[in-house]
């Protein structure tokens, strides 16, 4: 089959690329080591539920289900696999799973070997994960496989006339939990009707994160009684816009949590600022209180930092696409983002709710920001609409577990 030929060419490409790229090398070594990990850790008497996430974002979508399952059904053990190092390397010590490893590449031999070792009683694939050989063997073994928070568009390969054979992989899924009506309709066109519109488990996750948010004394000392603008996951084009504005408006303080925290990027940010600035890892409560700009030069704090802002900005919208707007919106703050947001359903819905603000350049940003600064009631209303939007979309985890555990 062409798919398996392509997979072997891909495997060869990964092997070559691993000689030159550290991230690819980690993935290559991790996939090869996965079987040793499973041999050492799999309990032959246990009943495993397998969760597969491509990367960190998909892990966050699967996390509410894993944690509910672990809490309410201790008779199961959890196996968590990743495709990307950006997921595995960050969550390899996650305490919510019994075994964590890379997923060996989807060759027929790897799939057979993997499933013989694990013998899962059910499997959850998060969002876009449709591995042909693994899913066909799961179906052959009568192991229920669920697609969670999946979303489909007409331009995807499954709906092309020339990919009918490959689209057969979707028929291996026991039940789809999709994000919207369009996805359900597209699946129906290729004969798939075991579908529930459950929404996106990320809404449950950000509400969970809000409840578990961290107390950050340095950020509190920085904020004091000031209005604060929080820019999260920002890139240079984003920073060019909001830094220029806040250089001219010292009445608000500024927190920047860039997507890339390498020294070169941090120095680039510092060169653009003409306000008193301190880096989080170098700050004390005293120096933070005196600063006008706080740069977050470490990971793991952003979702809690949004809590300290009156307005948020989520970066990436002037590049490949915006990052997670829900982490900000859940805190009842209006959320700015750039124009590349059309493929992101949550951004489109946030705009429609009145809690999101799309900008295209400096002038559009300045116009919206000046209105927020001059009209506190408008600011409050837009923030409330953002928070209400997130809360209105919660509940996907309940739907997934109720259906899949009683199927």
Written as tens digits, the pLDDT of the chain (407 aa) is 677 677 766 666 766 767 777 777 777 677 778 999 999 999 999 999 999 999 888 999 999 999 999 999 999 999 999 998 888 888 999 999 999 999 999 999 999 999 999 999 999 999 988 999 999 999 999 999 999 999 999 999 899 888 888 889 999 999 999 999 999 999 999 999 999 999 999 999 999 999 999 899 999 999 999 999 999 999 999 999 999 999 999 999 999 999 998 899 999 999 999 999 999 999 999 999 999 999 999 988 999 999 999 999 999 999 989 999 999 999 999 999 999 999 899 999 999 999 999 999 999 999 999 999 999 999 999 999 999 999 999 999 999 999 998 76
Cα–chain-centroid distance for residue 192? 27
Tokens representing 139 are 């179906």
Identify the pLDDT of residue 15: 66
In order of 8, 127, 129, 283, 288, the CA distances from 25 in angstroms are 17, 25, 22, 35, 40
Tokens representing 303 are 């979702």
Strands annotated E in 139-295: 145-150, 175-178, 195-197, 227-234, 252-258, 277-279, 293-295
Residue 198: phi and psi, rounded to 5, are: -100, -20
| Contact of 334 with 383, CB cutoff 8 Å | yes
Kindly report whether the global pTM for this prediction surpasses the value 0.75.
yes
* Beta-bridge partners for 150: 178
- What SS3 state is found at 53? strand
Map tokens 């999260």 to a residue.
232
Helices (H), 119-175: 132-140, 164-167
Eight-class DSSP state of 199: -
| Contact of 177 with 200, CB cutoff 8 Å | no
HEC sequence for 272-317: HCCCCEEEHHHCCHHHHHHCCEEECCCCCCHHHHHHHCCEEEECCC
Q: Which among 109, 30, 36, 65 has a CA at the least distance from the CA of 404?
A: 65
């Amino acid at each position: 089959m062409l798919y398996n030929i392509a997979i072997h060419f891909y495997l060869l490409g990964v092997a070559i690329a691993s000689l030159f790229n550290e991230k690819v090398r980690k993935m290559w070594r991790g996939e090869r080591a996965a079987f040793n990990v499973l041999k050492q850790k799999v309990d032959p008497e246990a009943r495993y539920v397998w969760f597969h996430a491509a990367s960190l974002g998909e892990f966050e979508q699967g996390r509410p289900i894993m944690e509910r399952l672990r809490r309410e059904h201790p008779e199961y053990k959890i196996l968590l696999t990743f495709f990307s190092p950006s997921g595995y390397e960050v969550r390899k010590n996650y305490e919510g799973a019994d075994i964590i490893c890379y997923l060996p590449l989807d060759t027929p031999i790897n799939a057979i070997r993997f499933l013989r070792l694990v013998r899962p009683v059910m499997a959850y694939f998060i969002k876009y994960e449709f591995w042909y050989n693994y899913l066909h063997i799961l179906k052959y073994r009568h192991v229920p496989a669920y697609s969670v928070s999946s979303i489909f568009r007409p331009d995807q390969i499954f709906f092309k006339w020339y990919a009918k054979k490959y689209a057969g992989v979707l028929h291996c899924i026991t039940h789809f939990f999709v994000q919207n009506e369009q996805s359900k309709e597209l699946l129906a066109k290729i004969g798939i009707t075991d579908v529930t519109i459950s929404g996106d488990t990320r809404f449950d996750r950000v509400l969970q994160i809000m409840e578990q948010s961290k107390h950050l004394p340095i950020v509190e000392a920085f904020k004091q009684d000031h209005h604060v603008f929080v820019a999260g996951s920002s890139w240079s084009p984003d920073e060019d816009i909001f830094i220029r504005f806040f250089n001219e408006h010292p009445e608000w303080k500024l927190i920047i949590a860039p997507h890339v925290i390498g020294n070169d990027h941090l120095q680039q940010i510092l060169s653009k600022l003409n306000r008193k600035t301190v880096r989080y890892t170098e700050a004390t409560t005293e120096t933070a209180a005196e600063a006008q700009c706080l740069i977050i030069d470490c990971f793991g704090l952003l979702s809690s930092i949004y809590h300290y802002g009156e307005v948020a900005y989520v970066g990436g919208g002037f590049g490949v696409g915006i990052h997670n707007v829900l982490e900000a919106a859940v805190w009842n703050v209006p959320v700015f983002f750039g124009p590349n947001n059309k493929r992101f359903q949550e951004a489109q819905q946030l705009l429609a709710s009145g809690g999101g603000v799309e900008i295209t350049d400096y002038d559009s940003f300045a116009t919206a920001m000046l209105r927020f600064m001059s009209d506190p009631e408008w600011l409050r209303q837009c923030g409330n609409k953002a928070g209400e939007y997130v809360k209105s979309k919660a509940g996907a985890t309940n739907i997934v577990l109720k259906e899949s555990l009683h199927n």
